[in-house]
A and B are shown apart, each in its own frame.
Chain A
């Protein structure tokens, strides 16, 4: 199911194309999509040439090919990003328009060959700042690597001051709102998207935001989710997510098998609350990973809470720790708490998985079997340590 969507005009001669994936619930077999997603392509007609910016996921090829039925001549296909949800229908567009010029960043050229089987010689590489004239309209290409692959670039339509950003500033949000006027909903979806996809590259995004500062931008057209007709809204949000210091927030991913670890988590939540430290527990047996990831954008501290399975940490927490480190959040402090039946090395092994996290580690708290008085005292001491380190941090 996709809906019979025709191209939608954004400005005269500039149209949204693509597909809304209302039913998709998982991306990369990993990232939950509670609100579905969309794949946006954009058609730009100039007085001499017509360009298509990106395509759509190949599962939606019929939609985008149907929308192109009314486009007799297509001169240029711009690939801003080689990931298949945008480039996957490029070979089909190439079949339809065999003379079309394919344009991408130099880094994307071999990647298009590798991922789509299109010969490198068939692709025109454009340098940073290079322009492409469509007659009365001009596209300027802005290299912006690592948002979120090494080859990504942006395209700026000079006359209308529209910035096409592919994944940057996007959101997994299935909606037929062409524009992002439903601010709270878009902000939440865009922050989740940032957390899952962009956060590992925050330091590079900082540079990209600086690079974009001289550009006057009237509209940002991403490849997922609605168009930003008020670009400041999303650019300012990104600035906060990338640059703000972490907040007074502890994320507490946990799993419990027979209740000991859960009892410790309950106690720690109470102890942190008494000390005015914001805390959010996540039961990783049932938690939506994106809901956890989005809180990592702001959190100053992570506390992993795990029982012991065959000497090591519970696999749910292994997976959580691995992802936490991979997303490179701003976390400053970390701790591990949990329980074991007769012996265990859960804390050491978990910490080894997080070696790339730039955090100071507070002392772990573990109990053999049920938590006892000394366990609760150690958790109170941990809460004291966290509260002291969070002093002066803003709550929101």
Chain B
């Protein structure tokens, strides 16, 4: 599964970790995150993320 990076603050969403602060379980692909999910570091919306090459 791909990691995605926040273009605002550099936070990396790692699907193997998920986002426990927002109740996102490990193993959740970025694509399956809810539309209203935001960067846990800076609050940027999903469309501000890019796939990590």
Interface residues of A (CB under 8 A from B): 128, 143, 145-146, 150, 200-201, 203-204, 207, 355-356, 358
Contacts and interface: CB of A to CB of B under 8 A. Distances in A.
B10 A201 contact: yes
A200 B10 contact: yes
A-B complex: 8 closest residue pairs judged by Cβ atoms: A146-B10, A203-B12, A201-B10, A356-B41, A150-B7, A356-B40, A204-B10, A200-B10
Given A204-B12, A355-B21, A128 B7 contact: no
Contacts of B53: 128, 143
Nearest to A107: B7
15 contacts: A128-B53, A143-B53, A145-B5, A146-B5, A150-B7, A200-B10, A201-B10, A203-B14, A204-B5, A204-B10, A355-B21, A356-B21, A356-B40, A356-B41, A358-B20
Given A207-B52, A355-B21, A150 B10 contact: yes
Interface of B is mostly: loop
Contacts of A203: 12, 14
Interface in B1-25: 5, 7, 10, 12, 14, 20-21
B35 to A, nearest CB: 22
Contacts of A143: 53
Interface size class of B (residues with CB under 8 A): 10 to 19
B28 to A, nearest CB: 17
A180 to B, nearest CB: 27
Given A146-B10, A204-B5, A204-B10, 12 more contacts: A128-B53, A143-B53, A145-B5, A146-B5, A150-B7, A150-B10, A201-B10, A203-B12, A204-B12, A355-B21, A356-B40, A358-B20
Contacts of A207: 52
Nearest to A325: B41
A200 B5 CA distance: 13
A200 B41 CA distance: 11
A305 B36 CA distance: 36
A206 B44 CA distance: 24
Contacts of B7: 150
Contacts of B40: 356
A92 B23 CA distance: 51
B5 to A, nearest CB: 7
B13 to A, nearest CB: 11
A200 B14 CA distance: 15
Contacts of A356: 21, 40-41
A47 B12 CA distance: 42
A145 B53 CA distance: 11
Contacts of B5: 145-146, 204
Contacts of B52: 207
Nearest to A150: B7
A358 B17 CA distance: 12
A145 to B, nearest CB: 8
Nearest to A211: B53
A143 B53 CA distance: 10
Among A143, A146, A200, which residue has the most Cβ atoms of chain B within 10 A? A146
Contacts of B41: 356
A150 B52 CA distance: 12
Contacts of B12: 203-204
A169 B36 CA distance: 38
A358 B19 CA distance: 10
Contacts of A204: 5, 10, 12
A29 to B, nearest CB: 20
A55 B41 CA distance: 32
Nearest to B39: A356
